[in-house]
Structure 1
């Protein structure tokens, strides 16, 4: 029986080698026959062995090729267990695992294709177009038409094109008048622009990374022109982290004040001071990359008080302006806002002063022309600045001199009831500024007799009861409102005790 089966298998395989029978059909028949008998794999192996000897001696290469194809087709269709019994593989289990891995790699591994059919030449031309000299008759409209042509000709991805426009804008951040209309005309979805900016900020949130000032500038410019929304920007750190940092600063300030009032051994006192000095140096050497403060500074630099105020409202009182860069940026904006009024009513006789150029931004706070205009933005800015007006003694003197000029008008006679109400309101505003800004700032300034004399020149014009109310609040309440003032009071008391030994 086995001999007849072997002869039948031989005849079948030989017809395939001769080309008289289809390869797939023969392989299917052979695989089905494997289930008829237990010794069928051994019989088939004998047939293949005979055919291997016969075809290897033939001169006709096509017959040898058909034989190898038949053997390969049979092996593909045979179960791993059958192949193992034939001795063609070592272990069926390992063979199965290998097949699974190979099939996964062939059929399920994602291949990277340029599905959009983008061409690098298009991006090169795009960068050249955006980087050209803009001093001639080049307008954003002309460049936008060229960009559209490049997108259509080279199948460029519009979102990638927008990303490259922002990259070039970041490198040429002084060209606001060109890039802002270009982005406004190009962009159709504000959220897309916000997402691209978010990826740029996210990239700089990695350790040892620092967000470039140019990125803050373009984000501030886009916010100022309402191309993106402040709520859609995800910046670090989180508001909760800022609140925790502020609480930690207050706690540290109170601890320092407590240590300075305690009676300690001189050697221990010196060691504590050295430790505190080292901590302060570490803070100054490695400031954290606070992206919210960086954006806030950029907004103040371009004169966007509305969005800057929104950011500061989300932070603890005076937290933002406790950073010197923020305080100086806000002081500069105040300089520009009070400049016309100061020239009219604040400059002392004989003083020339230095004229300040206004911002080119038409959306910046309007300069104050009268004392009534101070209520529009200036008083609000000063309240946010608080004791950190101490960073700019010149602006301190300007505000005091404006207060003197107002008091002269206030004390003049011949006012009707309507004007009197407005002047009383302005007097209340100046008293609040003196309480919340001028006196605390004087406490944080280094010894400056000129500032004290200048401030006394304003205070002596206030009514007696108002003046002494300000003194009482300065002594009893002001020094507990801010960590820096807590430290300054403790250090002053400590220094006074040292002198009085």
Structure 2
């Protein structure tokens, strides 16, 4: 059987990118036709992915990287830039193209892609790229709110109510409440600040139970002011609404 391209490529792996790069510069220098570059790359480089996956072939991936590199290097040279655009169009044209258009879109800059006709607008592409990057990297989803993890918070409310009704002075009950709260936070991945808010609610309901003070030690004290501030705001709004309703009545 014939040897695998991975085992016996005609161009050593360390020289493959340099080989394709030299071919590309030869095309830009009018020393080589784009179709000849296509055939030379197909013959010299493996036709399947370097890691054995279903991804782009090593020949296609290397060529896409070279097109990106050359397009950047000749960015301020209009004539050569136009030749790179023509080369890219030739290499991604047809069903049996060396480089799939999607591969160039993945690797190359927006302005170059627009010149190649692969995207309608580099400006629009950049805006879309920023939006996607922001959504993937910087947007913080509001997980674990009461409505999104109802089972975990329901169990927590039941545990806090049971603890509150037992009264203070029971060390075993305090230890059990601490253990239950920690377990529920960990198992259901509950938001600690939301749990802290519920502990405050329970403490308001059973203020004589000093065990809640021990339970509050689970949480970062620097968050207390913020959580309490929101609670006071809610109480103030409710009081103002009740007063306004009374005056209207």
Which range, TM-score by smaller chain? 0.5 to 0.7
SS at match of 1:4: coil
Q: Could you say what secondary structure the match of 1:204 adopts?
A: helix
Alpha-carbon distance in 1 for matches of 2:159, 2:68: 66
Equivalent residues in 2 for 1:258-269 (5 A)? none
CA distance, structure 2, for counterparts of residue 18 and residue 192 of structure 1? 58
Unaligned runs of 5+ in 1: 56-63, 212-282, 288-501
- 1:152 Cα deviation (Å)? 3.0
CA 105–94 in structure 1, closer or farther in 2 if over 3 Å, else same: same
1:209 aligns with 2:241: yes
Q: Could you say if the C-alpha distance between residues 89 and 198 of structure 1 is closer, same or farther in structure 2, counting changes exceeding 3 Å?
A: closer
Q: Are positions 1:199 and 2:227 aligned together?
A: no
> Contact 2:199/2:216 (CA < 8 Å) preserved in 1?
no
Q: Counterpart of 1:28?
A: 65
Task: Select which of 92, 96, 101 maps to 1:48.
Answer: 92
Distance in 2 (CA, whole Å) between partners of 1:100 and 1:157 is 29
Residue pairs, 1:398-477, within 5 angstroms: none
> 5 Å matches for 1:156-305?
160-170=194-204, 172=205, 177=208, 179=209, 181-188=210-217, 196-206=227-237, 208-210=240-242, 286=247
Whether 1:88 aligns to 2:122 is no
1:25 CA displacement: 2.2
TM-superposed CA distance for 1:146, in Å, is: 2.0
Match of 2:127 in 1: 97
Taking the aligned partners of 2:201 and 2:215, their CA distance within structure 1 comes to 15
Matched-pair contact (CA < 8 Å) for 1:27–1:77? yes
Question: Aligned to 2:236, what secondary structure does the other structure show?
Answer: coil
Q: Pick from 33, 53, 78: which aligns with 1:5?
A: 33
RMSD of aligned Cα (Å): 4.2
Larger radius of gyration: 1
Distance change (3 Å), C-alpha of 1:186 and 1:22: same
Q: TM-score when scaled to structure 2?
A: 0.55
Check whether the contact 2:163–2:173 (CA below 8 A) recurs between aligned residues. Answer: no
CA apart distance, 1:42: 1.8
How many equivalent residue pairs?
Answer: 191
Aligned to 1:392: none
Deviation string 1:198-236 (CA, Å, 9 cap, x unpaired) is: 43221122275349xxxxxxxxxxxxxxxxxxxxxxxxx
- Of structures 1 and 2, the one scoring higher in RCO (CA 8 A, sep 6+) is 2
SS in 2 for 1:39: helix
Residues 423-450 of structure 1 deviation map (CA, whole Å, 9 limit, x = unaligned): xxxxxxxxxxxxxxxxxxxxxxxxxxxx
Distance 2:221 2:162 in 1: 26
Query: CA contact under 8 A between 1:122 and 1:151: conserved in structure 2?
Result: no
Note closer, same or farther for the CA distance 1:185–1:42 as it changes in structure 2 (3 Å cut). Answer: closer
Q: Is the 8 A contact 2:111 2:122 kept in 1?
A: yes
The answer to whether the 8 Å contact 2:89/2:116 transfers is yes
Cα offset for 1:192?
6.4
1:437-491 deviations in Å (ceiling 9; x for gaps) = xxxxxxxxxxxxxxxxxxxxxxxxxxxxxxxxxxxxxxxxxxxxxxxxxxxxxxx
The answer to whether the Cα contact below 8 Å between 2:64 and 2:104 also exists between their aligned partners in 1 is: yes
Secondary structure at the aligned position of 1:186 is classed as helix
Distance 2:221 2:64 in 1: 62
Q: Which of 61, 67, 72 is the equivalent residue of 2:102?
A: 72
Q: Structure 2 regions of 5+ residues with no counterpart? A: 1-26, 49-56, 75-79
The question of whether the paired residues in 2 share the 8 Å contact of 1:131 and 1:168 is answered with yes
Task: Find the aligned partners of 1:4 and 1:190 in 2 and give their Cα distance.
Answer: 71
- Structure 1 residue 11 displacement after superposition: 1.6
Tell me if structure 1 keeps the 8 A contact 2:38–2:91.
yes
Q: Within 2, Cα distance between the matches of 1:26 and 1:110?
A: 37
| Residue pair 1:122, 1:150 contacting (<8 A) in 2 also | no
Q: Deviations over 1:78-114 (max 9, x none)?
A: 3333333333333333333332323222332224456
